[in-house]
Amino acid sequence: MIYDENNYPLNILQDSNNILKSIKKEKDVLLACASRTPSVETARQLVYLNGWDKLFDHMEIYPNSKIVHFQTLQRKTKIPYNKMIFFDDLQWNIKEVKSLGVHSHHVPNGVHTGAFRKALKEYERFWSCK
């Protein structure tokens, strides 16, 4: 079990691990972590302890706006915002990132298979209309 700085257990959904691994297998898809946290070292430890460092192509972990995270990711990857999909448990992060044109999905209980499939269907529907 992994605990945060307040000694609360951090629960990782098995679906999340499986989703990350399945995304990583996809050709021409990049996977990134964007975390707005004052506990940078704790967040990085969580990434490494779960083996996600092998899955993420980019990691933006620092106490700053999600806008800054995504501007940095866009600059590094050259991927247009409207070709990115973002999941977060905090509504204000969703609102902020959505303003850039990123396909943003509120997942208050974490990313599970149903939420992931729904997001992919919405993304596909968006691009099929273009």
Q: List pLDDT tens digits, range 40-53.
A: 998 898 899 899 99
Return the axis-axis angle of helices 113-128 and 14-25, rounded to nearest 10°: 40
The model's pTM: 0.89
Which tens digits make up the pLDDT trace of 47-92? 998 999 999 999 999 999 999 999 999 999 999 999 999 999 999 9
Assign domain 2-13+21-128 to its CATH architecture. Answer: 3-Layer(aba) Sandwich (3.40)
pLDDT reading at 113 higher than 80: yes
Residue 40 confidence (pLDDT): 93
The 3-state secondary structure of the chain, one letter per residue: CEECCCCCEECCCHHHHHHHHHHHHCCCCCCEEEECCCCHHHHHHHHHHCCHHHCCCEEEECCCCHHHHHHHHHHHHCCCHHHCEEEECCHHHHHHHHCCCCEEEECCCCCCHHHHHHHHHHHHHHHHCC
Domain boundaries, the chain: 2-13+21-128
pLDDT reading at 1 higher than 80: no
Average pLDDT of span 17-36: 95
